[in-house]
């Protein structure tokens, strides 16, 4: 009887972990093209992609006071980030954009660079294949703080403020810690995505990822 109990428990545990394994096996499989890439809620990940030719028609240059170079975002996202950055600046923080819109060819070159430098497995863990990058939407940003090191943004003075306040300006941390099995990307404390204040607030309050938002509210997957 005891042996049968452990067998049943073992099967349950196996099924639980198989769910995550199956998620892993779906990377870049059964790919869907977005039918509304200009929607601020557009989902772009390893299973949902944009056309190679897609470039938003409302890209604007981010004010240079809020970026380290010439960076472009869609107009609404750019205006919202500038408000965020200025609000942070008024409180003594420094939050600037170091990467924003990237077109398909830029992402292709970036991904291939990671492959050539560190191998395919590394590239797949930290970079999206071309067409699968949120940066192509014109709604994603990488930011740095006063330590001027975006890779270590979570060690900057600005990190906690950004994590607690970004949703007020329509941004979410897209790849949070310990959610890699859901987002399919490694933790990126510097990567934020504009989805609008309403959805960003919902995601923040519920402590969910963008993928989980789609499952819960859009019936995806």
DSSP 69-125: S--EEEHHHHHHHHHHHHHHHHTT---EEEE----HHHHHHHHHHHHHHH-HHHHHH
Pairing, β 140-144 against β 72-74: unpaired
pTM as predicted: 0.86
pLDDT at 171 over 90: yes
Residue 129: inside a domain: no
Residue 220's pLDDT is 57
Does pLDDT of 16 surpass 70?
A: no
Rounded mean pLDDT, 59-76: 96
Q: Is residue 110 part of a domain?
A: no
- What tokens were used for 20? 């995550």
For residues 172 and 203, state if they share a domain: yes
Q: Which domain holds residue 14?
A: 1-30
Q: Judging by beta carbons within 10 Å of its beta carbon (0-12, 13-18, 19+), is residue 80 exposed, middle or buried? A: buried
143 and 78 in a common domain:
yes
pLDDT in tens, 29-48: 889 999 899 999 999 999 99
Same domain, 71 and 152: yes
Averaged pLDDT score across all residues of the chain: 89
pLDDT at residue 95 in the model: 98
pLDDT at 26: 72
Three-class secondary structure of residue 151 per DSSP = helix
- The H or E element that residue 2 is part of is helix 2-25
Q: What is the set of active-site residues?
A: 188
Question: Is 77 found in the same domain as 11?
Answer: no
- Region 129-141: mean pLDDT is 98
What confidence tens digit (pLDDT) does each residue in 136-150 have?
999 999 999 999 998
**Does residue 185 fall inside a structural domain?**
yes
């Amino acid at each position: 009887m005891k042996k049968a109990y452990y067998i049943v428990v073992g099967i349950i545990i196996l099924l639980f972990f198989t769910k995550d394994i199956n998620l892993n096996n779906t990377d870049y499989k059964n790919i869907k093209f977005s039918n509304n890439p200009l929607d601020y809620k557009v989902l772009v990940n390893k299973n949902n992609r944009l056309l190679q030719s897609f470039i938003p028609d409302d890209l604007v240059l981010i004010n240079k006071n809020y970026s380290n170079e010439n960076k472009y975002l869609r107009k609404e996202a750019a205006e919202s980030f500038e408000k965020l950055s200025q609000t942070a600046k008024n409180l003594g923080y420094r939050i600037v954009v170091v990467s924003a819109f990237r077109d398909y060819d830029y992402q292709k070159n970036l991904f291939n660079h990671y492959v050539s430098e560190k191998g395919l497995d590394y590239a797949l863990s930290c970079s999206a294949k071309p067409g699968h990058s949120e940066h192509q939407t014109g709604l994603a940003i990488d930011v740095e703080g006063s330590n001027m090191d975006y890779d270590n943004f979570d060690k900057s003075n600005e990190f906690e403020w950004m994590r607690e306040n970004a949703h007020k300006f329509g941004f979410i941390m897209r790849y949070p810690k310990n959610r890699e099995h859901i987002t399919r990307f490694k933790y990126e404390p510097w990567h934020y995505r504009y989805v609008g204040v309403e959805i960003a607030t919902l995601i923040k309050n519920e402590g969910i990822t963008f993928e989980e938002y789609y499952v819960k509210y859009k019936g995806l997957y």
